[in-house]
């Protein structure tokens, strides 16, 4: 753990390293069994629990080469971390999608109990190749 970094911040930074490697099992293991993961632009896509989080990540990100994340701002108070980040979606076809995300993470006993991402759907969808989740309208 880096000097001055809390345990929860260290855990969150490791989650993003796991995500970059597309290790969805490791990401889900950082969450509680009752963790809620929400993508605010799509409330119907909210899931609860490790297995559902792993499946959601595999569906949306499973065809990528990697998804590096740069953290711009991180504010922590108690068991809550607010983070602003940029994700770069590296598709196997060579295409890239860049997305700014603001998020809330809540921890309980060292595990994530809430993961709520705020992002602009048009920004993401307009950059995706046509074969990525084709059932989602690109309007």
**Do β-strands 111-118 and 31-39 pair in parallel, antiparallel, or remain unpaired?**
parallel
| pLDDT tens sequence across 23-55 | 999 999 999 999 999 999 989 999 999 999 999
Residues contacting 43, CB < 8 A, separation 6+: none
What percentage of the chain exceeds 90 in pLDDT?
80
pLDDT at 86 over 90: yes
Q: Mind listing the domains of the chain with CATH numbers?
A: 7-125 (3.10.450.50)
What percentage of the chain exceeds 70 in pLDDT?
94
| pLDDT tens sequence across 112-133 | 999 999 999 888 888 887 787 7
């Amino acid at each position: 753990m880096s000097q001055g970094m809390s345990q929860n911040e260290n855990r969150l930074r490791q989650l993003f390293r796991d995500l970059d490697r597309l290790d969805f099992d490791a990401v889900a293991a950082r969450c509680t069994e009752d963790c809620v993961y929400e993508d605010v632009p799509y409330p119907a896509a909210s899931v609860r629990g490790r297995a559902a989080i792993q499946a959601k990540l595999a569906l949306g990100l499973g065809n990528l080469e990697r998804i590096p994340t740069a953290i711009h701002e991180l504010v922590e108070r108690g068991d809550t971390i607010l983070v602003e980040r940029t994700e770069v979606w590296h598709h196997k076809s060579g295409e890239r999608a860049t997305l700014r995300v603001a998020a809330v993470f809540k921890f309980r006993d060292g595990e994530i109990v809430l993961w709520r991402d705020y992002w602009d759907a048009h920004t993401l969808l307009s950059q995706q190749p046509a074969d990525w989740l084709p059932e989602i309208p690109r309007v």
